[in-house]
Chains A and B, each alone.
Chain A
Amino acid sequence: MRREVSDKSIGKLGLARLVLRSFYLQAAWNYESLQTLGFAYVMFPVARRLTSASAVAQEFAARHLTLFNTNPVLASYIIGATAKLEEEHCNGRRSAADIEVLKSSLAVPLAALGDRFFWANLRPFSGMLGVLIAGRAGLLGAIALLVLYNVFHVYYRVRGALRGYALGAGVVGEISKLGLMKMSQTIGWLGAIVLGIMLVGVTYAWKNGWKREALFLFPLVAIASGLMPEALQKRITEVAIAVGVVGLLLTAGGVLG
């Protein structure tokens, strides 16, 4: 059955609500439905804007209760594009199946890109830079961590929703232009420099007779450099690692006294 063509839109306010709600995408994360309920929550204002009919809203809600999981930051590209497609569906220009196809086809590549950039590169790098600054300037370390991470985090959340909404189904082509792989490499190099500075600090401590400090700091820096994930692949339990870490922390007794 062909739907009647109309010209309904979620408007700028609706788009702003999508961006704000995208921060709650993982609010009800669980092993059965992953981000599904959060996605339905983010999208629901779109249904409110586009229809007042209860049956259509129910159909909308059920459509977005299918399994969904991706990187929470880059999910905003899918959120924006889905909102556009919902608009087009409501206006009779697109089928509901297209929306499902878009969601499922984008979720996996965005998860791969986003998890690598945000979780494996940016987050540890921000943390290490924060630690480096905190070692010299105390409170500024935490501020540096928050600022560095959130500049990228908030930018991609907002840009994703705006570009996704502007491009609709065409957002698929946008993903290859994100440049996140190159930025991941750059952050990897910068991370190596930060670790290098830390190791210089350890060497400096050793050369100046602070051997206990150096012995304490070196394993921590080694752990931070990414050896731990490798260890986890060998199925060593985190309890065993925690015992190891406690052993290293015990050296803090000598360092801090």
Chain B
Amino acid sequence: MSREILLLCLAGGVCALDTTAAWQLMLSQPLVSGTIAGLVLGEPQVGVFVGLVLQLLWSSAIPVGARPMPDAPVGTVSGVWFTVTLLENNDLASSSFCYLLGLIAALCLALIGRHTIMLEREISRRLYNRHVRRLSDRQEISPERVVSLAVMVAFARGFLLCLGAIGMLAAVAHLLAENSALSMRDYSLTLLILEALGAGVLFSVFVRKSGGRLLGFAGGIAWAFLIMNLSHR
């Protein structure tokens, strides 16, 4: 397992590097990074599914200019690991619930990862200023060393973030496996509330008139009841 985690973190580092710092071959796209993570863990179908859903969610996010993007590769790789681990270890939860938790973990980690991208850019800014100073002092002309350092920082960020995320998710997975109260049935009410809240927020985003958010929540609750009603048939 430790070899798999090391390979996953390496994949996370390479995919994070591909996001902005190097190549941009689209290894960082959730469908690709999810598939790679699935292959590393020996569960390619799980990786493809998690990557597929995240790909659709983030397909409209455009990395233009200074806009910080959610850290999709780190979120996807960690989310696939979490899903596979839950599917292997948690007998109480149904497979659907494992996928669900994996996707939520991926979304949360991608949002956390975005803040570390800002940190990476700040390090790059300092490296740039240092290089300008050294160039004017005639100490260093070539920018090669500074750029190599920036590339290493980008890789290390992805690698360490994946490692930290997997460590944290391992503790959550252990907790879920230990706690027998965490069954699918106990979560039904929570699911309904979250579903209404989530769908409501999403609806309200697209309603332009004043009071749109309220209308959105009402629509979200109606949507949630519709889905719950269908799931009981």
Find chain A residues with CB under 8 A from B136 CB. Answer: 62
Q: Tell me if B179 counts as interface (CB < 8 A to partner A).
A: no
Q: In the complex where A29-B121, A145-B31, A215-B226 touch, is A223 in contact with B60 (Cβ < 8 A)?
A: yes
A229 shortest CB reach to chain B, Å: 6
- Report A-chain residues with C-beta under 8 Å of the C-beta of B64: 115, 119-120
Number of interface residues of A (CB under 8 A): 82
Q: Which of B118-141 contact A (CB under 8 A)?
A: 121-122, 124-125, 127-129, 131-132, 135-136, 138, 141
Contact B205 A65 (CB under 8 A): no
Q: Which of B24, B34, B107, B129 contacts A245 (CB 8 A)?
A: B107
Q: Enumerate chain B residues within 8 angstroms of A170, measured Cβ to Cβ.
A: none
B9: CB under 8 A from chain A? Answer: no
User: How far in angstroms is the closest Cβ of chain A from B208?
Assistant: 8
CB distance from A17 to the nearest CB of B (A): 12
Closest B residue to A212 using CB positions: B230
Contact residue range for chain B?
A: 35 or more
**A247 and B57 contacting across the interface, CB-CB below 8 Å:** no
Interface residue SS majority, chain A = helix
List A residues 46-77 near B (Cβ within 8 Å): 54, 57-58, 61-62, 65, 72-73
B78 at the interface (CB under 8 A from A): no
Partner of B135, one of A62, A120, A131: A62
Interface residues of B in 127-160 (CB under 8 A from A): 127-129, 131-132, 135-136, 138, 141-144, 146-147, 150-151, 154
Which single member of A31, A130, A223, A230 contacts B66 (CB below 8 Å)? A31
A40 and B150 CA atoms in complex are apart in Å by 14
Knowing A119-B62, A215-B226 touch, does A135 contact B21 (C-beta < 8 A)?
A: no
- CB of A245 within 8 A of CB of B198, answer yes
Tell whether, in the assembled complex, residue B135 and residue A24 are in contact, meaning their CB atoms are under 8 Å apart: no
> Which A residues are CB-close (under 8 A) to B113?
none
The stretch from B43-51, B161-169, B170-178 touching chain A is B43-51
A37 touches B111 (CB 8 A): no
- Asked if A124 and B60 sit within 8 Å, CB to CB, the answer is yes
Contacts of A239 in B (CB 8 A): 111
B188 to chain A, nearest CB (A): 9
Which residues does B use to contact A, with CB under 8 Å? Answer: 20-27, 29, 31-32, 34-36, 39, 44-45, 48, 51-53, 55-57, 59-64, 66, 70, 94-97, 99-100, 103-104, 107-108, 111, 121-122, 124-125, 127-129, 131-132, 135-136, 138, 141-144, 146-147, 150-151, 154, 184, 191, 194-203, 205-206, 208, 220, 223-224, 226-227, 230-231
Q: Which 7 A-B pairs have the closest CB atoms?
A: A247-B198, A244-B202, A257-B96, A28-B150, A30-B125, A228-B60, A142-B35
Beyond A139-B44, A241-B201: 13 further Cβ-contacts under 8 Å?
A23-B24, A26-B22, A37-B128, A37-B150, A65-B135, A131-B59, A138-B45, A138-B48, A142-B31, A245-B202, A247-B201, A248-B199, A253-B184
7 contacts between A and B (CB under 8 A): A73-B24, A130-B55, A135-B52, A153-B25, A224-B56, A224-B59, A250-B100
